[in-house]
Structure 1
Amino acid sequence: MKTKHTQPLRHLAIPALLALAFAGGVQAQTTGAGTSATGGQSAPAAQPGTGTRNSPAGKDDQVARGDRKFIEEAANSGMFEVQVSQLAAAKATDAQVKSFASMLVDHHTAANNELVKIANARKVELPAAPKRGLRQDIEKLGKKSGAEFDRDFVRDVGIKAHEKDIKLFEKASKDVKDPELKAFVDKTLPQLREHLAAAQKLPQAGKDKKG
């Protein structure tokens, strides 16, 4: 049964609670949980535990394999970035970092919700939480505090994660077959570049060599 959540979870500060909130007890399904396209929300219309790999052959025919792979990868990174940015918006000590994190929550949530609509229309089922490695990254960051937290968030999420996103979306802009999906890619890519540029301007971007 498809359900749609419209309110992003913006006030979660503890990584462990973040993981729980995204699937109504998704921690019980942490093994092989996979990704979700709803950054900051339980995946609307997703079927947790099912995933795209178990879709009948008839469903696979609706989406090119490359398009499906991109949807899954973009969903995973999008949900991770909203979760970790929610954490930073609550925990960062520097006002500029807090503001940057809040912007990421807003922008990525909106983009992820768009991606969910595209996925739903094409019967691409999305799990309800980021893959385990990314959840562990959030937990590791959550154990840090003060200037170290701010610096690592800017470096790892603001810069590294967005550099990875940009490469993913640049490739997708050339390769995806679905017109609506390509329009989403071309609309989102400039925003990702803006996020990277904003992160690179923060003072913390140049402090990663310090203890």
Structure 2
Amino acid sequence: MNRILLATAAVLMLSLSHVSAQSVGEKTGVNSVLGIAPSTADFVKEAALSDLIEIQTAKLAQERGDADAKAFAAQMITDHTKTSTELKALVAGGVKAEIPAALDEAHQKKVDKLKDAKQEDFTADYASMQVSAHKDAVSLFERYAKGGEDEKLKDWAGKTLPHLQHHLEMAQNLNKKK
């Protein structure tokens, strides 16, 4: 019964996905649960937001984190600045999508929560956030690489995926230390 209900909800959400710039399925996580590739617009938006939050939280970690967090953060700034630049070039080269200029409300709340963390909790909070963020990014990139609409973007997602998987491993190791 639950599967039928979930499938019905998914079909309904997917049918509504053309109504907005970001599909209902991607916003709610249904696409991820069902393993469905996001639309090109959704993928670009989510990938860009991921880069933005990674860079912003890494800058906080360089100020407030311990030595391990600072080293991890430096790598995140380097790698996510690179992927952000590559994504912008793909969009400028003809990928039909828009790159957000700033974090949306949900992502900004995560940054604000990290800003408000007690000093003694900061590295553990940062590490936990990084594990979650990279699990989401790996799922997003895997799904787009397998079933995305734009061939150039699909290829880029596939080439970027191993780096994100490595980031996830690094974040998990950082989280274990904390």
Q: Distance in 1 between matches of 2:57 and 2:79?
A: 13
Q: Name 2:133's counterpart in structure 1.
A: 161
Q: CA deviation at 1:73?
A: 1.4
Identify which of 102, 121, 126 aligns with 2:99: 126
* Alpha-carbon contact 1:75-1:115 (below 8 Å) kept: yes
Identity of aligned residues (%): 33
Q: 1:173 aligned to 2:152?
A: no
1:112 equivalent in alignment to 2:110: no
Q: What is the CA–CA distance in structure 2 between the aligned matches of 1:169 and 1:130, rounded to whole Å?
A: 19
Shift of 1:206: 6.0
**CA distance in structure 2 between the aligned counterparts of 1:89 and 1:176, rounded to whole angstroms:** 35
Within a 5 Å distance, the mapping from 1:82-161 to structure 2 comes to: 82-92=55-65, 94-122=66-94, 124-157=97-130, 159-161=131-133
Equivalent of residue 200 in structure 1, options 143, 149, 172? 172
Residue 25 (structure 2) aligns with: none
SS in 1 for 2:39: helix
CA distance in 1, matches of 2:42, 2:172: 29
Q: How many residues align?
A: 142
What is the TM-score normalised by the length of structure 1?
0.62
Aligned to 2:50: 77
Q: How far apart, in 2, do the equivalents of 1:205 and 1:156 lie?
A: 13
TM-score (ref. length: structure 2):
0.73
The structure in which a higher percent of residues are helix is 2
What are the superposed Cα offsets for residues 34-68 of structure 1, whole Å, 9 maximum, x if unpaired? xxxxxxxxxxxxxxxxxx95xxxxxxxxxxx8222
